[in-house]
Amino acid sequence: MAYRKLHLLTLVMMFCLFAGLAGNASAEESVPQLSEEEFAKGKQIFFDRCAGCHGTLRKGATGPNLEPKKTRAIPVEALATIVSEGTGGGMPPWKDVMSRDEIELIAKYLQLDPPQPPEWGMEQMKESWKLLVPVDQRPKSPPKRNWQNYFGVIQRDIGKVTIIDGDTKEILTTLNTGFAVHILRTSASGRYMYSIGRDGKATMIDLWATPPNLVAEIKTGLDARSIDTSKYKGKLGNFIDKYAVVGNYWPPHYVIMKGDTLEPIKVVSSRSYTYDTNEFHPEPRVASIVASHHAPEWVLNIKEAGIVLLVDYSKIDNGTVIETKINAERFLHDGGWDSTKRYFLVAANMKNKVAVIDTFERKLVSLIETGNKPHPGRGANYIDPEFGPVWATPHIGEPMVAEIGTDPVKHPQHAWKVVRKMPVAGNGLFIKTHPKSDNIWVDNTISKDLDIAQTLTVYSKKDLGGKPVNMRLTDHGKVVHMEYNKNGDEMWVSVWDKEGEIVIIDDKTRKVKQRIPLATPTGKFNVWNTMQDEY
């Protein structure tokens, strides 16, 4: 393999090139040479494809530490092979995604010191904030359509969000939302839909406009994953549609904004000490966020610190944020409410565990071993005929759904235990059901076997111990992420491909009802189910 080696004499020069980087290479060490342009390309590839798992500073998260002290001990060829082929332990293969040159470049890049990413504070946020349609210029009443049955669909690879009328199946509009939108959430009233891109850009869509339009946007940081809104109304005040919050990977912080304009109000750092060893971590990222319906509060998951934060937003008007820090487990990722919305269940996926937080008692209730890398999305709530109310999660690392009992009052013997493990066709990302449905749908997106990744597994709630049905939905792309319509009688799922589509399934008959062609659709969110946190 042809890569140039460089010895001590020229090291000084090289470190000048990568200004601001402190080198600690000894005389014996040799490191690859990259031009400024190559380094910039490596940085971009790393940010786009690797930082999500290994961390912007490469200190390790879902994937291990990749700092030079470690990577320089591995030959560039060996690094390139790992990147190209992946490993059985969760490192994906990149040979079908990246060119050979790009793989060799990133292998060399890994041996160089990671550049310190820039900070992004209130000043930069304010500069990036755009109020596209002021509140008084927006419609005063909802459209004549059944807007609570609209779907927002993320078109991941092209940086757009499409709004579809769930009743008529018409595409109402396609909006530019930014690079690789991660999720959508709605305001408590459902009127506004918010998107957060991996590039930290949050956008806000007014669903009452005809067609729905972008009314505000802001860049909250350089890398982000989560967004939610204030959903509490009660004795302590009415916070419906009042605030939005974004959780960032870089800089590691969360940003509280006005719910109707995205004007930033307050930035709070999540840099902190790890919950167990109490060591300082420079990059504890904010993973998922959910909004409480019982208190003026958000639940934020601080991934590397292993801490679940309960953030009381009721006194934000005075500039006060009250944080309750609950020790949970490292590498918190995604999760959702149980059916009562008192308990929050979150996957610590690299620990093969799910942590249960009681938001009333404000404590960790249980840490439950479920299987190889649980990935619930928000999970699924339903009644198991044998075990009572359960919450279920699929797994990235094995083809299995685990059910956890969630009713400590009427079914205490099953509460916070894995009560059932259900085999599915492949390793997957998401599970979905609806209170009115008899079906539980599970995708097999992560399966290495494309034949399986193009199918959905479906269980009947009446026969959870029985054999599931496996349905092939496409002969191209991969099948990912399910969502119900408002009535719970249609299930929508994405075929993730350049020439992708939304497949709509009649939930009673399990027959395909309609296909809507759409480029690279991934997550999709029904307004009613999202505002209610119905999953």
Instruction: Indicate which residues carry an active-site annotation.
Output: 50, 53-54, 91, 333, 375
Q: Which of 174, 218, 217, 226 is nearest to 198 (CA)?
A: 226
359 and 295 in contact (C-beta within 8 Å)?
A: yes
| Residue range at the interface with ligand HEC (CB under 6 A); choices 63-71, 165-173, 181-189, 487-495 | 63-71
199 and 276 in contact (C-beta within 8 Å)?
A: no
Q: If binding is defined by CB under 6 A, does position 92 make contact with ligand HEC? A: yes
CA distance 118 to 142: 42
Maximum Cα interatomic distance, the chain, rounded to a whole number of Å: 73
Q: Which of 311, 218, 295 is nearest to 259 (CA)?
A: 218
Show the binding pattern over residues 107-126: x = contacts ligand HEC (CB under 6 A), - = does not: ---x----------------
User: 23 or 90: whose CB is closer to ligand HEC?
Assistant: 90
Q: Which of 482, 485, 488 is nearest to 437 (CA)?
A: 488
CB of 48 to ligand HEC, least distance (A): 8
User: 198 or 414: whose CB is closer to ligand HEC?
Assistant: 198
CB of 349 to ligand HEC, least distance (A): 10
Q: If binding is defined by CB under 6 A, does position 52 make contact with ligand HEC? A: yes
| Residue range at the interface with ligand HEC (CB under 6 A); choices 59-67, 275-283, 308-316, 442-450 | 59-67
228 and 530 in contact (C-beta within 8 Å)?
A: no
CA distance 350 to 358: 22
CB of 430 to ligand HEC, least distance (A): 16
Its sign, for the CA torsion 75, 79, 80, 86, is positive
Show the binding pattern over residues 71-90: x = contacts ligand HEC (CB under 6 A), - = does not: --------x--xx---xxxx
Q: Which of 507, 479, 478, 510 is nearest to 493 (CA)?
A: 479
CB of 42 to ligand HEC, least distance (A): 9
CB of 77 to ligand HEC, least distance (A): 12
User: 64 or 237: whose CB is closer to ligand HEC?
Assistant: 64
Which position among 14, 25, 34, 50 is part of the footprint of ligand HEC (CB under 6 A)?
A: 50
Which position among 25, 106, 357, 473 is part of the footprint of ligand HEC (CB under 6 A)?
A: 106
Which position among 6, 15, 47, 62 is part of the footprint of ligand HEC (CB under 6 A)?
A: 62
Size of site (CB under 6 A) for ligand HEC: 21
CA distance 492 to 477: 16
User: 83 or 425: whose CB is closer to ligand HEC?
Assistant: 83
Which position among 53, 158, 268, 365 is part of the footprint of ligand HEC (CB under 6 A)?
A: 53
User: 50 or 418: whose CB is closer to ligand HEC?
Assistant: 50
CB of 54 to ligand HEC, least distance (A): 6
| Residue range at the interface with ligand HEC (CB under 6 A); choices 51-59, 157-165, 196-204, 481-489 | 51-59
User: 306 or 389: whose CB is closer to ligand HEC?
Assistant: 306
Residues listed for the chain: 535
User: 87 or 176: whose CB is closer to ligand HEC?
Assistant: 87
CA distance 212 to 478: 29
Which position among 56, 68, 94, 275 is part of the footprint of ligand HEC (CB under 6 A)?
A: 94
Q: Which of 350, 385, 408, 395 is nearest to 462 (CA)?
A: 385
CA distance 399 to 403: 14
Burial class for 114, CB neighbours closer than 10 Å (0-12, 13-18, 19+) = buried
Residue whose CB is nearest to ligand HEC in the complex, by number = 89
List Cα–Cα distances, 29 to 5, 23, 115, in angstroms.
10, 11, 20
CA distance 447 to 398: 9
Q: If binding is defined by CB under 6 A, does position 54 make contact with ligand HEC? A: yes
User: 64 or 211: whose CB is closer to ligand HEC?
Assistant: 64
List Cα–Cα distances, 280 to 77, 272, 273, 305, in angstroms.
34, 6, 4, 9
Q: What are the residues binding ligand HEC (CB under 6 A)?
A: 49-50, 52-54, 62-64, 66, 79, 82-83, 87-92, 94, 106, 110
